[in-house]
Amino acid sequence: MRESTVIRQTRETKISITLRLDAPDTASVIETNLPLFTHFLTALTFYSGLYWDIHALGDVEVDPHHLVEDVGIAMGQALDQALGDRTGILRFGQQYLPMDEALVLCVLDFSGRGQLYWQGSFPDRAINGVSSEIWPEFFNGLARHARMTLHLRYLEGINAHHVYEAAFKALGRALSQAVTTVDNRMPSTKGSL
């Protein structure tokens, strides 16, 4: 079974995540104490087609930064653990995603090397009081701990909510492709990931 559970508790956040990669048609459960983040995670998890059970509380009264970054880290750890040695996966995923005037591109590779490449003029505006500078922290934590190369590129868009929601949805769709099992091979010419 390709599944994992991650518990992460610090003085700043309490997070528990269960992930199942092969659970079609099972609705994810997302609960955080930052409603905008819950909204974006609901979009990501829905389009990933994976089963995610995420319960996360953070000291958002200090700064939503801790919660958002730590959930990214824990989701990355959950992906890395559930994928095991990565045998048989498609490995790559890519998705252009529009949301009205916004257009975002996500391209990822479960390369074994965790790095976010965040490119383009992502809007630098708060959404409902939540600073947009926290969103790359989420994607960075996720990329590093999932040990995946993650390109997210802003292409178009004016409304910050549209642009960031498009990024979460695009990542969901790209993940759905990349973790799909296609054969019994290690998807690397060097023999490991």
Write out the binding residues for Mn ion, residues 163-192 only, by CB under 5 A: 165
Cβ-based nearer residue to Mn ion, 171 or 179: 171
The label of the residue with tokens 């992502």 reads: 122
Residue 137 beta carbon to Mn ion: minimum distance, rounded to whole angstroms: 20
Distance CA(115)–CA(136), nearest Å, equals 12
Cβ-based nearer residue to Mn ion, 109 or 165: 165
Write out the binding residues for Mn ion, residues 39-58 only, by CB under 5 A: none
Cβ-based nearer residue to Mn ion, 99 or 148: 99
Cβ-based nearer residue to Mn ion, 37 or 110: 37
Write out the binding residues for Mn ion, residues 59-118 only, by CB under 5 A: none
**Amino acid, res. 45:** T
Q: Which residues contact 179 (CB under 8 A, 6 or more apart)?
A: 2, 21, 50, 79, 83, 89, 90, 110
**Amino acid, res. 72:** G
Say if residues 128 and 135 touch (Cβ distance below 8 Å).
no
Distance CA(77)–CA(143), nearest Å, equals 10
Count CB neighbours of 16 within 10 A: 16
Count CB neighbours of 184 within 10 A: 7
Residue 164 beta carbon to Mn ion: minimum distance, rounded to whole angstroms: 9
Residue 40 beta carbon to Mn ion: minimum distance, rounded to whole angstroms: 8
Cβ-based nearer residue to Mn ion, 80 or 165: 165
Size of interface with Mn ion, in residues (CB under 5 A): 1
Residue 132 beta carbon to Mn ion: minimum distance, rounded to whole angstroms: 14
* Contacts with Mn ion, 126-165, as mask; x by CB under 5 A: ---------------------------------------x
Chain center to CA of 84: 18
Binding site for Mn ion (CB under 5 A): 165
